[in-house]
Amino acid sequence: MELDQRLISSIENRIGVALITVTRIRVHVSSHPCRLSAAEVGTKLLAYSDGQAWCEQELALAEWQPVLDNARTALAHQKSKTFILQTTFCEMEYFVDVYPPPLHVIVAGAGHVAKPLVEMGKKLGFYITVICDRPQYANVDQFPWADEVICRPYMDYFRSLDITDKPYILLLTRGHQYDVAILREILHLSVPYIGMIGSRRRISGVFSQLHEAYPDSEFEHVYAPIGLDIGAQTPEEIAVSVLAEILRVKNHKSGKSLKEEIGHFIVDRQVEDE
């Protein structure tokens, strides 16, 4: 039961973990047991993304290193799968069930676009933090879907930002002066995505204030104007556009219409049919 409790605790605390379960063992040479100590069907281990591992049984974890490495690879790719390990004397099959931490989205600003974006983002399984410096907007009543609502000056928050979980940061503030100040604090951070809302004029003004102090390479992970080009007008449509762009970056996809990706196949099949 302790393994189950550790697994549940890891999920609740947003710690990436993989559950390894041995599902089959086939011994090639009957006189030699499987070299993995205590290996038997049903053996379970936990592998953490930080390199730690745990099992209820007394295992020589050094012998299980190939298994643990595969589990961490599956966790990094967020894909559960079955593996087969071949040794001189046996073949062991095991299933890796991955529980990656939820993607963390930080929403700076609590305006009209933030509300539908937070609600939709939570439905996608994201962990959502809202930060705003105005108490009338930064509260749970305004953002019941958020996991965290923080009322605090932007600079205080971003100056001490923990980026261990590689958050995606959205700048939806009420003025470009806030965007400039926040970007000065986070441009150098190793985060996958910084999205900034605003007109081209506003964004151009922000960048013009920063380009002299920061090299172009610092802007590679900045997405502005924010979102995919779907002609979004309403706050809800803009939220869809932004979340689609986040998924595109997260999943390393093109963002193209699937018709563009497979349309040639349909045409080819039609030609064959004719």
Residue 197 dihedral angles phi and psi, to the nearest 5°: -85, 155
The string of pLDDT tens digits covering residues 213-225 is 777 778 889 999 9
Per-residue pLDDT, 28? 72
Per-residue pLDDT, 210? 83
The string of pLDDT tens digits covering residues 109-165 is 999 999 999 999 999 999 999 999 999 999 999 999 999 999 999 999 999 999 988
Decide: 139 and 149 in contact? Cβ < 8 Å. Answer: yes
Give the model's confidence band at 47: pLDDT under 50 very low, under 70 low, under 90 confident, else very high.
very high
Across the chain, what does the average pLDDT equal?
A: 88
Give the model's confidence band at 198: pLDDT under 50 very low, under 70 low, under 90 confident, else very high.
confident
Domains and CATH numbers, the chain: 2-99 (no CATH), 104-251 (3.40.50.720)
**Rounded mean pLDDT of 43-48?**
93
